[in-house]
């Protein structure tokens, strides 16, 4: 990627300016999280180690988390670059002092141990310290420890998020910025997906009218009895504390949102909460909700640190909570170690159907790069870098993923009508550095009206837009169909997003929503009909699982015509049965025409004369119908005849002795066409001469064939020589005025057919 190329180039230019033993200038590289920052570190380390002007370079990669250190180390291994991972402070001392490795990865804690306990010091000026997520460690007390170990080293910081205002002045001391690749640019380059943000806090904690509207929406599919029971769970003042009540409301909303929009898809989710106890509670609630409401069954797994390790804003005595101790004991019994527990969960999340969502506190909010991770739910306080790191978990590119979604149950960003640069939680950053970080979901939904209009605009030439035949006829040209598919795809995705948004339901009149839904049904049925009519293969990317979920919920699966793979109508005995589901005589004729035409294209080289003539017959019939020289019934009849001719491979027009031999029939048509061109008057014996010659040509080719003959030039030459003799014999015997060029043209056609049929067997 170009940003990696320029970052490495500018870094090398900077560090090689130093003369003699003077300290090399460092700096900071800001490349948006998800844009390949780890790989940039690997390539830079490799470039430094290979730079001829730097003698005996030593590169040390520093992170502040074990999982990040492991990730960087694995990236080096994947790039086949020799690297040593310091397992302890003592090991780091050994690697540095004895020069046992050119590239070392370690975590900042090892530096503290090495500097304090082992009195480690390396005064070389060809040492390069690359600090990942440098805003967390390089600018604090830990930097002093690194300077103590490597006083003359060149320090290069890497960050995936913009620097805070207060950090920028400190960064300047280390050389300032070397290269920047902000979120806005990464989104424009499609290096990461855009991130959409939706706040759900106001809906759950607004006035009673808003709460009632939310309740009605998320319980649309429940019976009256289930709704009454659920309301009791939400409002059991004596039995549940306000905190527990709130957790149940959020859990039910989250499960409903995920199941309606992501259930059954390849997309997964992550849920960031405030404490280990809360993580376990939510996991328990998800299981309870799934048991009571099977359509809301959500598979989740909890990832937390050991009970004696503080995470986020936990209370000190949380490690003593029996449920946390019990959970941790069960995990260690199941997985054997914390490392295996973490790795197995991540592996299952990325490669298996379950878990569908991971609940975490601090772990996995940085350095967790699963591309399938699409939605991040948040119920914890976050600020500054923590926000930007967390939301970047869902910005990795993934097939079919148009954006990452952040659903906020804490009101982190305050009122949604404020611009991101005004959010108090991000007030420590410069405004321009935050451009493109994320977009409020309402901004994307605001495009719905225009995208709805764009679909109808494709049909501006159709006077009666309820006339399905006229609409389908309008879509006959392939470029017009593609415009329709593109516009419908944009509308479908935006409507799916809107239907998942609480605010859209709150702000949009029900009749407007219903109009969008009805039009969606109409357009998708129209698309299914024209894809069938014009024999187009199904592109399943157009029919994403998320959109299918929306169709099932708001329209009904049985009300939308399913797009099916085109049938091979030459394997169909009764064509009338295949036409039963197609309405309209012209639509049926188009259905046959498109399939026969496709076969003509696919099989043209197997029997060029037959399929070229069939293709011309179809084109002429379509044109005659469009010019109203053929009625719908006449058009359909001609297509039936074309289908029969193609299905029988033109057997009705060849001599009887050839009808069971497709290859000989193809040779016959080439020979007949070639012979008829050179006779001055019509002769009755041409068909017989062509049939006799075709059978002899077939015999010559069969006799000369050996294994892999297509790649054997000698075999091909032998075939051509014998065929050439055959043609000259026929010319003399039957008085055919064939020239050398005529014979060459016929033989080239026969050899093309023979080769094509050999490869298609």
Hey, is 161 helix, strand or coil?
Answer: coil
Q: Which long-range contacts (CB under 8 A, 24 or more apart) does 464-469 make?
A: 468/526, 468/529, 468/583, 468/584, 469/584, 469/586, 469/587
Q: Check residue 511 and report its DSSP letter.
A: H
Name residues whose C-beta falls within 8 Å of residue 712's C-beta, 6 or more positions apart in sequence: 706
Residue 756: Cβ-neighbour burial (10 angstroms; 0-12, 13-18, 19+):
middle
CATH superfamily, with its number, for domain 2-186? P-loop containing nucleotide triphosphate hydrolases (3.40.50.300)
Low-confidence residues of the chain, pLDDT below 50? 138-139, 236-242, 314-316, 415-426, 540-543, 557-564, 569
The per-residue pLDDT for range 595-649, each reduced to its tens digit, is: 888 888 888 889 999 999 999 999 999 999 888 898 999 999 999 899 888 888 8
* Maximum distance among all Cα pairs of the chain, rounded to whole angstroms: 110
| 436 in Cβ contact with 551 (< 8 Å) | no
Q: Helices (H) and strands (E) in the chain — how many of each?
A: 31, 14
- Detail the DSSP E strand segments found in 64-220: 84-85, 103-107, 127-131, 154-159, 177-181, 195-199
Measure the CA–CA gap between 349 and 358, rounded to whole angstroms. Answer: 8
Q: For residue 678, give the H/E element and its range.
A: helix 662-678
CATH 3.40.50.300 is right for the domain spanning 195-200+264-437: yes
| 313 in Cβ contact with 334 (< 8 Å) | no
pTM (predicted TM-score): 0.67
Residue 297: Cβ-neighbour burial (10 angstroms; 0-12, 13-18, 19+):
middle
What is residue 490's predicted lDDT score, i.e. its pLDDT?
A: 93
Q: How far is CA 215 from the centre of its chain?
A: 33
- In the chain, which segments carry CATH 3.40.50.300? 2-186, 195-200+264-437
Measure the CA–CA gap between 645 and 8, rounded to whole angstroms. Answer: 65
Measure the CA–CA gap between 184 and 297, rounded to whole angstroms. Answer: 37
| 519 in Cβ contact with 452 (< 8 Å) | yes
CA distances to 137, 279, 491, 543, 558 from 521, in Å: 54, 40, 12, 13, 11
| 647 in Cβ contact with 598 (< 8 Å) | no
| 326 in Cβ contact with 290 (< 8 Å) | no
Q: Check residue 408 and report its DSSP letter.
A: E
What is residue 545's predicted lDDT score, i.e. its pLDDT?
A: 59
- Would you say how long the chain is, in residues? 761
Hey, is 476 helix, strand or coil?
Answer: coil
Find residue 270's DSSP bridge partners.
358, 376
Q: Check residue 561 and report its DSSP letter.
A: P
Measure the CA–CA gap between 528 and 526, rounded to whole angstroms. Answer: 5
């Amino acid at each position: 990627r170009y940003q990696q190329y320029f970052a490495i180039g500018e870094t090398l230019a900077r560090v090689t300016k130093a003369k003699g033993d003077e300290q090399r200038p460092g700096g900071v590289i800001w490349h948006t999280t998800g844009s390949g920052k780890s790989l940039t570190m690997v390539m830079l380390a490799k470039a430094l180690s290979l730079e001829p002007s730097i003698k005996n370079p030593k590169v040390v990669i520093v992170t502040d988390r074990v999982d990040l250190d492991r990730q960087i180390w694995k990236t080096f291994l994947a790039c086949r670059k020799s690297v040593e991972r310091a397992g302890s402070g003592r090991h780091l001392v050994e690697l540095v002092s004895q020069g046992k490795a050119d590239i070392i990865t370690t975590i900042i804690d090892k530096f503290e141990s090495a500097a304090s306990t082992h009195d480690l010091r390396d005064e070389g000026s060809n040492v390069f310290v690359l600090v990942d997520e440098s805003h967390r460690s390089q600018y604090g007390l830990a930097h002093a420890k690194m300077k103590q170990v490597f006083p003359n080293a060149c320090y290069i910081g890497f960050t995936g998020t913009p620097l805070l205002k207060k950090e920028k002045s400190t960064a300047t001391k280390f050389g300032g910025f070397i290269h920047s690749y902000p979120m806005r640019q990464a989104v424009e380059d499609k290096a990461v997906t855009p991130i959409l943000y939706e706040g759900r806090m106001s809906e759950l904690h607004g006035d009673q009218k808003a709460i009632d509207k939310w309740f009605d929406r998320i319980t649309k599919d429940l019976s009256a009895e289930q709704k009454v029971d659920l309301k009791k769970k939400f409002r059991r003042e004596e039995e549940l504390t306000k905190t527990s009540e709130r957790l149940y409301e959020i859990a039910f909303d989250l499960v409903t949102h995920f199941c309606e929009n992501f259930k059954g898809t390849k997309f997964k989710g992550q849920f960031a909460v405030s404490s280990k106890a809360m993580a376990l509670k939510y996991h328990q609630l998800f299981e309870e909700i799934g048991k009571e409401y099977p359509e809301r069954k959500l598979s989740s797994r909890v990832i937390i640190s050991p009970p004696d390790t503080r995470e986020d804003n936990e209370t000190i005595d949380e490690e003593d909570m029996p449920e946390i101790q019990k959970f941790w004991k069960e995990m260690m019994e199941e997985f054997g170690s914390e490392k295996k527990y973490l790795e197995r969960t991540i592996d299952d999340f990325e490669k298996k159907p379950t878990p569908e969502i991971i609940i975490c506190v601090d772990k996995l909010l940085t350095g967790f790069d699963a591309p399938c991770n699409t939605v991040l739910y948040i119920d914890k306080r976050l600020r500054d870098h923590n926000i930007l790191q967390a939301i970047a978990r869902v910005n990795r590119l993934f097939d079919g993923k148009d954006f990452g979604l952040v659903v906020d149950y804490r009101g982190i960003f305050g009122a949604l009508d404020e611009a991101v640069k005004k959010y108090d939680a991000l007030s420590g950053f410069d405004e321009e550095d935050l451009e493109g970080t994320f977009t409020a979901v309402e901004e994307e939904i605001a495009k719905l009206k225009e995208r709805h209009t764009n679909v109808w605009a494709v049909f501006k030439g159709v006077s009666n837009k309820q006339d399905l035949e006229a609409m389908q006829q309008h879509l006959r040209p392939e470029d017009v169909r593609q415009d329709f598919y593109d516009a419908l795809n944009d509308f479908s995705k935006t409507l799916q997003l809107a239907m998942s948004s609480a605010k859209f339901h709150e702000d949009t009149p029900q009749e407007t929503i219903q109009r969008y839904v009805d039009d969606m049904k109409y357009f998708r049925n129209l698309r299914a009909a024209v894809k069938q009519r014009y024999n187009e293969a199904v592109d399943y990317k157009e029919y994403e699982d998320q959109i299918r979920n929306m169709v099932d919920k708001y329209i009904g699966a049985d009300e939308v015509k399913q797009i099916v793979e085109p049938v091979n109508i030459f394997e169909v005995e009764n064509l009338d049965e295949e036409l039963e589901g197609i309405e309209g005589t012209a639509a049926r004729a188009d259905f046959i025409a498109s399939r026969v035409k496709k076969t003509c294209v696919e099989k043209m080289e197997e029997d060029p004369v037959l399929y070229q003539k069939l293709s011309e017959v179809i084109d002429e019939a379509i044109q005659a119908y469009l010019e109203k020289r053929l009625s719908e019934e006449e058009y359909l009849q001609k297509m039936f005849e074309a289908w029969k001719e193609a299905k029988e491979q033109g057997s009705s027009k060849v001599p009887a002795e050839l009808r069971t031999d497709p290859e000989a029939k193809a040779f016959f048509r080439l020979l007949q066409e070639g012979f008829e061109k050179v006779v001055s008057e019509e002769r009755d014996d041409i068909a017989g001469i062509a049939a006799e010659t075709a059978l002899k040509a077939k015999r010559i080719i069969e006799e000369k064939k050996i294994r892999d003959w297509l790649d054997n030039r000698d075999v091909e030459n032998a075939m051509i020589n014998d065929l050439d003799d055959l043609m000259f014999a026929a010319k003399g015997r039957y008085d055919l005025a064939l020239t050398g060029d005529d014979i060459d043209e016929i033989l080239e056609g026969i050899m093309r057919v023979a080769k094509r049929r050999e490869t298609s067997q």
